[in-house]
Chain A
């Protein structure tokens, strides 16, 4: 049987229930940090330091340290925000939607994918705050009771976006944490030092492993999954409405919500792929995160990518079909204007490169998958940048057309955000089990029970 076929086993070999638990918990409790991890940590720390410096300088001087200008008042910060929050989608979709769809192969992926979601959403939620002219007043978006009896302005999509991010962040943290509890209890029980016992013991919330615990856990997981799935769609639709609500050519479009959801799935799966490949290699998990997982992820990336490509086509088609002067000018400008290169990078990465995934051989090749995943991530960043900047730099009145030139601090903030994400993820793989032990045990048990 081919290793990537849908009926291929999702676990290779026979680790046995006990062996599996020991192996996965030892990754956290026993394994010394490897060289690769240390090097990655140093790089991530440096980049995160750069982010801290960028933020400090930003708070001291103002958003003018970035390249934003009139008329391009949004650029990197918003592109970064949309990019990161979209990456977050992958985790939620894998763990929640596939849980509801009863796809047991997802079990090997969901833990780190959920961690990825939490970190990506956390990183992304920095940007809407930092991009404000007066970031220290971000809480004015919240409808809190105040002396001046001021409410936020309910018609603005930015306000709903604020709620959407907040809800999504809370839901994904909860979902992540609830899923961790049985494993935290396992770690608590297997820890040999007092410190670790206390640490994991506190986090495990007194999990005893009784049937009652398991039943409640199962119910809560399902409920949260049921909550998370619509949230995923709502948050990305809300992000899309940040643009659709404007009357600007290239933004004022009803296709945006589904388009953004597809784009989020696309980049989310790409990120899951990009993280899976080094992870299984470094931690020796190739028998748990198998070729079949990679194959499935490749298919998902391809499917989402095709939808994204379709969205591009529809956007350009409707611009010309609608006959609106400004939409046509914008479409032409995207294809041939000053920033056309960003459009063509997006096309090359998001439409052309993924066509390789039609081939089984490519999907079976981790290096190729890794490269394609990275390409898609780059492409999706450029797509967001293109979407924002090409619309803004040339809108209605030719007299106010301008351009955009990023500064050092734009790049530093982007690189720093990647650093922060990497830092969080590197800490995660050392502190928490990267694969859900209890769910993997289920898989093994399932297999043992079946034959």
Chain B
């Protein structure tokens, strides 16, 4: 914000001149006098409102302190504690915890369109870490990387700090004057007044929208989301005539057919879906290995048919790439095979008939416990057909049900187009943008930034002064979700409250406050704006209960009976025009539509499957790459509909042959220090009428090359079998024998467990792991792991303590994909320990392999000798020691490492210590499950189990007793404490001859 700093410089210059002119003893009086001088006060008020408000009440010393703090730290909030209102700690918090221990607050976050309840860990009032709320239906304790990164978003030093008017620092008071003028101007009917928000997921925002439209009946409220659910909405309208929402019960579904629906990672509710999916698989195995195999649920099977591989297809028992243009035809063929006759006809999808028949037979055999899903990018007709199929298979009410959404749902693309039409028609006199970035995240053909420039008055509320904030007349800083009162509805319709866990760090306000300012006086305390919504639903006790619990009991809507009508037999066309290459647009797995571009954790987190960081890339199939002689990082020019862009390619095994996927969210121009000028902006080619897919793209290879930063260079197991895997049938018929304890000539160097009888160990279930990287993100947040940047990642110097390896097997056109999280193995015979000349890596009595940062001189021999390559070295000074906001974000229980030292996973030793202190105080042993490492706690599928392996009854010991248990690189006799459970797949016996 150059204007702001210019202003500040001016103030300082004024101060200096005045103080400089004063001589001798007058010097100290000068400041007081200066403050009281009206002209100076006005000036000060404009540039530094925080200071000017406080100034009269302050003595000289406090004023100087404040001034210094404001100028130097630019509003650092490290000293701000909890907000003034009564916020309530999470219900299970023990009573009377001392201040030094972290406090947990339950709140709700919306990340990438997914609403989930979370617990926020705060240290002395500073939020440092997000955990899932086990009581919340969309989390059940799990989190994803976006939720983990919310704390960094809060502490982002590039956040907007004060209102800006026409590029000049301003104040909320000045805006309040503007808002009052607006109200007067648009009284009574509000024609020409437009509001643009994202999808409304907050009951309070819905209420405020109703009130706004009641106050200004002629005004228009638009909802636009770059990652929309329009097709699902339209599909429901087609099938039911009402915008019903689907609620999945994956724990009941044996056979799942996903047509491009990434329910494990992308779709709202994915944490819950992943948990339900994994839990059912666990129950199947437990049933078979238990006493009574007849109690086991039917073994499940997942078929994924999609154009671009996702984590769902990576975890499927059968995944077949198919161009998205052919997916409707495939849906129809499947419907025909299931006896829905009117679906027959039309062009063929190209999928072999026997696969269609095999799936249909599997679905028929599992009536009532099967599930078909259509992805958000498929046309509404396919969604409608899927509703019919689910009904025909008797799945409704068993593996899914429907409910009426409480908040008004609106087709996002149509809503945006209505706005742009009004803007180009000059009908928009004032536009208020609530927390969105339409100047970036809208299809390029609409030319939104140019239209925005023509609007006479534009107001933008946002966390960052981004592309839209710069283009608008007014930019207003928004409070972060962790600083605001609000409420949100999750994927299943259940509502929960958003409570602030810290006072706003900067001069921000929430969108509820902004709307209050636009419709009323704006003076209402933020908490009241939310409480009003729940008047009559929640009494005082209910309010408190909801805050403590993190979910509003009984708020989930009831299922409604719905019959999918057979009527809309719409032509599912399969047309091609020009070339046969289709372009698919997808939100980036971590940056989404660009919202998280300035988040270093998310930029550096390897994207699932491609393992790319810091950039997007056009995903092309291996065959298309061979045809065009493309290698990873070669830049192609893509032209479609008269627009073109240049993008580096990434060869994606499992990508449909003629489909190119363009991830969105990159190419940001005004995002902050971290997120600008990375990758390419796919919006340039996006089309408002068909935002997910365009056909007839033409490609030309350029001679440019971009060095993409991927964290994994090699993708095959090379016969080394780091991931043990087998089919369910083979496992049940012939469970692998436990490898006998290896004999050694040498006496065991270490005791099995410490004096107190603890021996820490971990088991990672590769059958449950979906490869979502939540563990990596959680570990980064918990352990103060620095972000190193694209150039360092290109050099292989990323610092993540736990990484998720991904291996491909089989043909690159349709490979099997395997994931394997790799933290430190905490080997009992640790090869790293013997080679350290200074004893900086040592073993403790409980089996932890510890790194003593203070002692490390950085020979790096330990890393050489680690067969698992889990050690990370500070080649340069990676930890940012200068930015005060980042200091405030850090976990005070974990050392920040400086350059030249080695670091690695500690099994979250700080959490072990906390548990031990608690247990010691109460004179008891640490209970099983009392310690959850950060990765374990974050895992949505509970693939990671940590505990005391010396206790045969602990959860981790039970896992390790499984016949699926194995140690990575067991032949090296390092005796790792981290072990794995083999992954299983359950391919259809009818398709045995396929992959």
Contacts and interface: CB of A to CB of B under 8 A. Distances in A.
Contact of A62 (B712, B806, B899): B899
A335 interface: no
Contact of B837 (A131, A159, A395, A401): A159
A62 B796 CA distance: 16
B865 A134 contact: no
Interface residues of B, number: 55
B901 A402 contact: no
Given A61-B876, A71-B796, A392 B899 contact: no
A390 to B, nearest CB: 13
Given A64-B875, A156-B836, A397 B857 contact: no
A137 B901 CA distance: 11
Contacts of B835: 155-158, 245-246
A132 B838 CA distance: 12
Interface string B818-857: 0010100000000101111111000000000000000111
B217 interface: no
B900 A134 contact: yes
Nearest to B968: A397
Contact of A405 (B717, B795, B834): B795
Contacts of A325: 719-720
Contacts of A397: 720, 722, 805, 822, 867-869, 968-969
A141 interface: yes
A222 to B, nearest CB: 34
Contact of A398 (B720, B796, B902): B720
B913 interface: no
A153 B722 contact: no
Interface string A129-151: 00111100110110000000011
A398 B715 CA distance: 7
Interface in B861-888: 861, 863-865, 867-869, 872-877
Contacts of B822: 397, 399
B867 A395 contact: yes
Given A71-B869, A133-B874, A140-B838, A156 B858 contact: no
A70 B872 contact: yes
Contact of B865 (A62, A141, A246): A246
B860 interface: yes
A64 B876 contact: yes
A399 B807 contact: yes
A397 to B, nearest CB: 6
Contacts of A349: none
A64 B807 contact: no
B972 interface: yes
A403 interface: yes
A258 interface: no
Nearest to B972: A247
B637 interface: no
A409 to B, nearest CB: 12
A401 B822 CA distance: 14
Nearest to A157: B835
B863 A132 contact: no
Contacts of B867: 247-248, 395-397
Interface of B is mostly: loop
Given A134-B856, A399-B714, A399-B822, A248 B865 contact: yes
B739 interface: no
A132 B869 contact: no
B706 to A, nearest CB: 16
Contacts of A61: 876-877
B631 to A, nearest CB: 15
Nearest to A329: B718
A151 B839 CA distance: 8
Interface of A is mostly: loop
B901 A134 contact: yes
Contacts of B857: 132-134, 137-138, 140-141
A152 B839 contact: yes
A249 to B, nearest CB: 10
A62 B900 contact: yes
Interface string B797-808: 110000101110
Contacts of B792: 64
Nearest to A66: B875
Contacts of B838: 140-141, 150, 152-153
Contact of A69 (B796, B836, B856): B796
Interface string A37-80: 00000000000000000000000011111011111111000000
A150 B873 contact: no
B831 A247 contact: yes
A246 B972 CA distance: 12
A402 B713 contact: yes
Contacts of B836: 153, 156, 158
Interface string A238-274: 0000100111100000000000000000000000000
B574 interface: no
B716 interface: yes
A447 to B, nearest CB: 52
A400 B869 contact: yes
A134 B858 contact: yes
Contacts of A394: 714
B53 interface: no
A103 to B, nearest CB: 38
Contacts of A247: 831, 865, 867, 972
B839 A245 contact: no
Interface in A358-393: 392
A133 B898 CA distance: 10
B856 A133 contact: yes
B875 A68 contact: yes
A140 B854 CA distance: 11
A308 B693 CA distance: 62
Contacts of A119: none
Nearest to A324: B971
Contacts of B872: 70
A138 B719 CA distance: 41
A83 interface: no
A85 B836 CA distance: 22
A71 B899 CA distance: 17
Contacts of B803: 399
B864 A403 contact: no
Interface string B765-800: 000000000000000000000000000100111100
A73 B855 contact: no
Given A69-B795, A399-B714, A62 B875 contact: yes
Given A63-B875, A133-B902, A137-B857, 17 more contacts: A68-B860, A69-B795, A71-B864, A133-B874, A138-B857, A140-B857, A150-B838, A152-B837, A156-B834, A158-B836, A158-B861, A245-B865, A396-B868, A396-B972, A398-B718, A398-B720, A399-B714
Interface of B: 712-720, 722, 792, 795-798, 803, 805-807, 820, 822, 831, 833-839, 855-861, 863-865, 867-869, 872-877, 899-902, 968-969, 972
30 contacts: A62-B877, A69-B796, A70-B797, A71-B796, A71-B864, A74-B864, A132-B857, A132-B859, A133-B857, A133-B859, A133-B874, A133-B899, A134-B900, A141-B837, A141-B838, A150-B838, A153-B836, A153-B837, A153-B839, A245-B865, A247-B865, A329-B718, A392-B864, A396-B869, A396-B969, A397-B822, A397-B868, A398-B714, A399-B722, A399-B806
